[in-house]
Every structure is written in structure tokens, then in C-alpha cells.
Amino acid sequence: MVENYLRATRFYHVSRIGVIRGFHPLSAALVERWRPETHTFVLPVGEATVTLEDVAHIFGLPIDREPVSGWIDSSSDFLQSQSIKYLPLLRDFEQIHTYSWGSACLAHLYRALCRASRYDTKEMDSSLNLLFVWAWERMSCIARVPRYTLPPTQIPVAIRWSHSKRTTVW
């Protein structure tokens, strides 16, 4: 029954991704290299960033539709506010697919990285699937499994990483 609703909203493919956990060293290394002024990672080989094209490729979310907008909460209750922020947009199942959820996802990742990069912050308040898959796809030398062992690329790309067995030890 839930699957039918997910298909109607065109989020079914995203629901199949799951959560990728347990890669604190990778997230810590990336946060350490994040520059909030430019929204880029400063790496030894140059600057890099997660783009809207990456979000569309990794999650299969639309990036060129109506903007997802709502109030911005800058208080310490940020995490709790995230669960209700977009509820009004989810009322009409027929309209959910008309929003640019990929843009909202990228904005949320940027905000989480900017907060995490502050000296007084110890953790990130975001799902890290986008960050991990982006890093593994763009920098295959740090990937948790060799790419040749993964299933063929499909959209969303994150599916092939979420069900893979970890072979690296960090």
C-alpha cells in the first residue's frame, strides 16, 4: 500500500536507497576540507563540489521544477524543524512530483556542511548518503568497494552503493 503512494509521488526509487552508515572518517575528512565561503571542498588536486547534476544522477530527484520553499530555522531546534518544514508541500500527492526536491536536497547538504565546519560543532545533522555516494563516484580511490564489483550504473546511482558490502577498513 505504501509502495503505491511512493510510486504515485515518484519517490519510490529514492525509498529503495536506504541509509548508508558508518563512514565517520570520510565525513570528517570532507567536513575538514569544506569551505563555507565558496561551498567547495579544497582538496590537494583542486576544488570540488556537489552540484545539482550530481543530485539528479545520485538520487534521481528533479532539479528543474517548482522551488521547494519554506521558512528557515536558525535556532538549535533545527533538527526537529526539518521534520515538519515541508509537510504542507506533501499534502497533495498529485503535486509532489512538481517540486525541485533535488535542489532542496543540495541546499540542505550545503547548510549541514557549513554548520558542521564550524569549530564548535562535533557532528552533522543530515543524512550523508548524497555526500558519501558523491565522494565514491567522483574519487573512486576512496570508494568502499571496487567499482567493478558494483552492478551497472542506473538512476539513482545511490542504489548500487547502498546494498554493497564494505571491503575497506577505516
Note the pLDDT of residue 86: 64
Q: How confident is the model at residue 79 (pLDDT cuts 50, 70, 90)?
A: very low
Query: How far is 121 from 104, CA to CA, in rounded Å?
Result: 23
When pLDDT is averaged across residues 83-97 and rounded to a whole number, the result is: 71
The three-class DSSP label of residue 43 is strand
| Beta carbons within 10 angstroms of residue 114's beta carbon | 16
| Beta carbons within 10 angstroms of residue 14's beta carbon | 18
Note the pLDDT of residue 84: 60
Question: pLDDT tens-digit profile of 15-34?
Answer: 888 777 657 888 889 999 99
User: The whole model's pTM is what?
Assistant: 0.79
Question: pLDDT tens-digit profile of 91-149?
Answer: 777 788 888 889 989 998 999 999 999 888 877 766 688 999 899 888 888 877 777 77
When pLDDT is averaged across residues 46-53 and rounded to a whole number, the result is: 96
Q: How confident is the model at residue 74 (pLDDT cuts 50, 70, 90)?
A: very low
Could you tell me which of 9, 34, 64 has the C-alpha nearest to residue 134? Answer: 34
Query: How far is 130 from 151, CA to CA, in rounded Å?
Result: 18
151 contact partners, CB below 8 Å, separation of at least 6:
160
When pLDDT is averaged across residues 85-92 and rounded to a whole number, the result is: 70
When pLDDT is averaged across residues 68-92 and rounded to a whole number, the result is: 58
Query: Domain extents for the chain?
Result: 2-162
20 contact partners, CB below 8 Å, separation of at least 6:
128, 129, 132, 133, 158, 161, 162
Beta strand 34-35 with 40-43: parallel, antiparallel or unpaired?
A: antiparallel
Determine contact, residues 133/157, Cβ cutoff 8 Å. yes
Note the pLDDT of residue 168: 45
Q: Which contiguous run of DSSP H or E holds residue 41? A: strand 40-43
